[in-house]
């Protein structure tokens, strides 16, 4: 790949926007061309507009970029959206209508019929839904799921394929970073568990059905799985831990499930996507693992770690998984989506198109 794709970031000063910058810096296929945010930030240097919360410094490449307003018109082959849900609907629509591929982390269009809700390792064929979108332009929208859904569904995929999945009980212990900044008050976080995250359980109970659904006649028919989720906030910085119990379509043993995870090759395993971890899963036999502090960064935050695979006295099998909520569960997942779009030919250098259109 000779020439990099120009990437604009919408909501660049927010928590997700900052992660997009981290993930896209030094990316082999993309380069950040535009940082867009609200009117209030527009015109400032990025370093002055942002309250940078990460533990790595602002990349020097972007620190002095001037922030622009989040309106179509700037030079980008793709825009990554880290916008808040309360503004994403309108702005993303505007960009799609203006011909931009929009790769979004916002929840607004996730469940829309013709918008792919995408995890490349899970449902790479769902990108075909793009062709049904009609924004009056060559633009389109692709979304990634909620951060806690990502870990769960990625782990379910091989089980669905090998045995079928009928019922899922999942209890999450989610990191503070998932709430953005300032997010959770420290008096609610320190030494505490908050057993509620607004809207989270609903997402975990519905998004997986679309993700694991079959594309038939250009439409996704949702999977038929009963899912129940309890979502909790715990005092962890990065990394959602999930305790999962699964009723499978066949009577199998924990050892069989372990084998399936261990040997799993995802449908995109051989595409050479730069952000795709290989192998996809890190499997632990040490009962104490995975743990967010120790393992959240595996595969540059793109792996799904799985441990404690054992028989379940109620269903068939239970296990623990860990997913990096702001990398794999947000910015990194979106960038992997864009990589797949490049590989599939949906994401191209835009100026060509423009030239043709002119």
What is the smallest separation between the CB atom of 190 and its own copies, expressed in angstroms?
6
Q: Cα-flanking dihedrals φ and ψ of residue 90, to 5°?
A: -75, -45
Q: Left if phi > 0, otherwise alpha if psi is -120 to 50, otherwise beta: which for 199?
A: left
Tell whether residue 158 is a contact of its own copies (CB under 8 A): no
Tell whether residue 183 is a contact of its own copies (CB under 8 A): yes
Interface with its own copies (CB under 8 A), residue from 7, 160, 173, 342: 173
Which residue stretch of 91-99, 112-120, 127-135, 283-291 sits at the interface with its own copies (rule: CB under 8 A)? 283-291
Q: 54 or 357: whose CB is closer to its own copies?
A: 54
Tell whether residue 167 is a contact of its own copies (CB under 8 A): yes
Q: From the CA atom positions of the chain, what is the Rg in Å?
A: 20
Angle formed by the axes of helices 254-263 and 147-162, nearest 10°: 110
Tell whether residue 325 is a contact of its own copies (CB under 8 A): no
- Residue located via tokens 């929840």: 107
| Binding footprint of its own copies, residue count (CB under 8 A) | 62
Q: 267 or 279: whose CB is closer to its own copies?
A: 279
Which residue stretch of 18-26, 104-112, 129-137, 281-289 sits at the interface with its own copies (rule: CB under 8 A)? 281-289
* Nearest alpha-carbon partner for 83 in 124, 130, 38: 38
Which residue stretch of 86-94, 186-194, 214-222, 259-267 sits at the interface with its own copies (rule: CB under 8 A)? 186-194
Interface with its own copies (CB under 8 A), residue from 66, 69, 84, 297: 297
- Residue located via tokens 């990096």: 324
Number of other residues whose CB lies within 10 A of the CB of residue 57 = 9
Which residue stretch of 128-136, 267-275, 307-315, 323-331 sits at the interface with its own copies (rule: CB under 8 A)? 307-315
Catalytic residue flag (residue 147): yes
Q: Is 125 helix (H, G, I), strand (E, B) or coil?
A: helix
- Strands 304-311, 281-283: parallel, antiparallel or unpaired by DSSP? parallel
Q: Residues 147, 231, 295, 324: which is the catalytic one?
A: 147
Environment class of residue 85 by beta-carbon count within 10 Å: exposed (0-12), middle (13-18) or buried (19+)?
exposed
End-to-end CA distance of the chain: 26
Contact 302, 276 (CB under 8 A): yes
Alpha carbon 239 to its chain centroid, in Å, reads: 13
What is the smallest separation between the CB atom of 293 and its own copies, expressed in angstroms?
4
Interface with its own copies (CB under 8 A), residue from 43, 73, 164, 195: 195
Tell whether residue 221 is a contact of its own copies (CB under 8 A): no
Q: Is 131 helix (H, G, I), strand (E, B) or coil?
A: helix
Interface with its own copies (CB under 8 A), residue from 35, 37, 212, 296: 296
Active centre residues (catalytic): 147, 240
The residues of the shown chain that bind its own copies, judged by CB under 8 A, are 52-57, 167-169, 171, 173, 176-177, 181-196, 205, 226-228, 230, 232, 234-237, 241, 243, 245, 287-298, 307-308, 312-315, 318, 320
């Amino acid at each position: 790949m000779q020439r990099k794709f120009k990437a604009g970031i919408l909501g660049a000063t927010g928590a997700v926007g900052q992660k997009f910058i981290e993930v896209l810096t030094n990316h082999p296929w993309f380069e950040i061309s535009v940082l867009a945010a609200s009117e209030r930030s527009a015109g400032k240097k990025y370093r002055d507009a942002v309250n940078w919360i990460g533990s790595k410094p602002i990349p020097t490449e972007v620190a002095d970029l001037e922030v622009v307003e989040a309106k179509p018109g700037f030079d980008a082959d793709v825009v990554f959206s880290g916008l808040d849900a309360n503004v994403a609907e309108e702005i993303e629509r505007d960009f799609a209508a203006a011909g931009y591929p929009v790769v979004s982390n916002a929840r607004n269009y996730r469940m829309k019929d013709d918008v792919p809700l995408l995890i490349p390792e899970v449902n790479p064929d769902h990108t075909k839904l793009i062709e049904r979108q009609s924004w009056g332009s060559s633009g389109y929208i692709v979304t990634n799921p909620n951060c806690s859904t990502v870990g769960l569904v990625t782990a379910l995929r091989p089980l669905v394929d090998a045995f079928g999945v009928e019922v899922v009980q999942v209890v999450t212990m989610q990191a503070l970073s998932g709430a953005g900044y300032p997010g959770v008050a420290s008096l609610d976080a320190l030494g505490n568990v908050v057993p509620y995250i607004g809207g989270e359980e609903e997402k975990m109970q519905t998004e997986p059905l679309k993700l694991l659904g079959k594309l038939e006649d250009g439409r996704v028919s949702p999977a038929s799985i009963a899912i129940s989720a309890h979502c909790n906030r715990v005092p962890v910085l990065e990394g959602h831990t999930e305790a999962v119990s699964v009723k499978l379509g066949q009577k199998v043993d924990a050892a069989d499930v372990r084998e399936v995870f261990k040997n799993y090759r995802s449908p995109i395993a051989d595409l050479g996507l730069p952000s795709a971890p290989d192998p996809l899963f890190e499997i632990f036999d040490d009962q104490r693992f995975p743990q967010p502090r120790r393992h959240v960064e595996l595969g540059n935050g793109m792996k799904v770690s799985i441990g404690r695979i054992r028989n379940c006295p109620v269903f068939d099998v239970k296990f623990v998984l860990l997913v990096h909520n702001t990398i794999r569960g947000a910015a990194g997942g979106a960038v992997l989506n864009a990589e797949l779009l490049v590989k599939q030919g949906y994401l191209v250098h835009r100026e060509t198109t423009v030239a043709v259109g002119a």
